[in-house]
Amino acid sequence: LWGSSFEGDWHPPYGPWVEALGDVARSLDPARLRRDLGAGAPVLARLLPELAATLGDVPAPAPLGPEEERFRLFDAVAQFLVAVARHRPVVLVLDDLHWTDRDSLQLLAYCGRFVARTGLVLVGAYRDAPLDLGDPLADTLAVLCRQDGYEHLALGGLSPGEVADYLARATRQPPPAALVRAIHAETGGNPFYLRQLWRHLVDERVAVQQHGR
């Protein structure tokens, strides 16, 4: 399952979770979906309106105070993922956590409590930049690192050899060593910047492939 956040001042509520959970909800047949949702169906139907189209009429949950509503939603999401993971392993990737809203991060921290005893793997990706004290992402990481099964993986840029391999695949021929050095120096091996720079060079006809278009 995959959900991502986007840069900007406005973020849809629980945006990356809606994206990821919508994928799994659409992949299950209605009978299995209903069983896995269990008592959380009315709560999650408010987060995922498409559930009503799949399951038919879903009753509205009883109103609660703001904090109780938040806990009920968090627990419904966690229990749904745990139920799905009983049938098949689930890997849920939340990308660009540095742009994620506070509520979505708090939901991630809550679901992290269930990873060690289920077939659920949570993967969060974020830019490795200094975080201020009190930053929502810093608070979330502080909670997650205390959970069993937590592991931090630092991903550096691609090496010059890996950049050369990428360009060889893109052009279907060995790239000139000078081009590899220049692109690696410009991008630091960042895969996203590497791809964007290469596309720019091709679009501007600075780089021309000799095989194919």
Q: Look up the pTM and report it.
A: 0.82
pLDDT-derived band of residue 60, with 50, 70 and 90 as boundaries? confident
* E-strand stretches of 5-119: 90-95
Indicate whether 211 pLDDT > 50.
no
What is the C-alpha separation between 70 and 66, in angstroms, rounded? 6
Per-residue model confidence as pLDDT tens digits over 128-159: 878 887 899 999 999 999 998 899 999 889 99
Indicate whether 115 pLDDT > 70.
yes
Tell me the pairing of strands 2-4 and 120-124: unpaired
Region 172-188 average pLDDT: 92
CB atoms within 10 A of CB 27: 11
pLDDT-derived band of residue 13, with 50, 70 and 90 as boundaries? confident
pLDDT-derived band of residue 75, with 50, 70 and 90 as boundaries? very high
Region 61-85 average pLDDT: 94
pLDDT of residue 132: 81
Specify the 3-state DSSP secondary structure of 30. Answer: helix
pLDDT-derived band of residue 207, with 50, 70 and 90 as boundaries? low
- Output 213 or 158, whichever has higher pLDDT: 158
Indicate whether 210 pLDDT > 50.
no
pLDDT of residue 128: 81
Region 49-68 average pLDDT: 86
Positive or negative, the CA dihedral 103, 109, 115, 118 is negative
- Output 85 or 12, whichever has higher pLDDT: 85
Specify the 3-state DSSP secondary structure of 208. Answer: coil
Query: CA separation (Å) from 41 to 37, 51, 74, 78, 161?
Result: 5, 8, 13, 12, 50
Indicate whether 212 pLDDT > 50.
no
pLDDT of residue 94: 96
Integer Rg of the chain from CA: 22
Average pLDDT, the chain: 89
pLDDT of residue 206: 64
How long a stretch of residues is the chain? 213
Q: Using a pLDDT cut of 70, give the percent of the chain over it.
A: 96
Largest Cα–Cα separation, the chain: 66
Positive or negative, the CA dihedral 138, 139, 142, 147 is negative
Indicate whether 83 pLDDT > 60.
yes
Residue 95: beta bridge partners?
A: 4
Contact 88, 119 (CB under 8 A): yes
Contact 104, 5 (CB under 8 A): yes
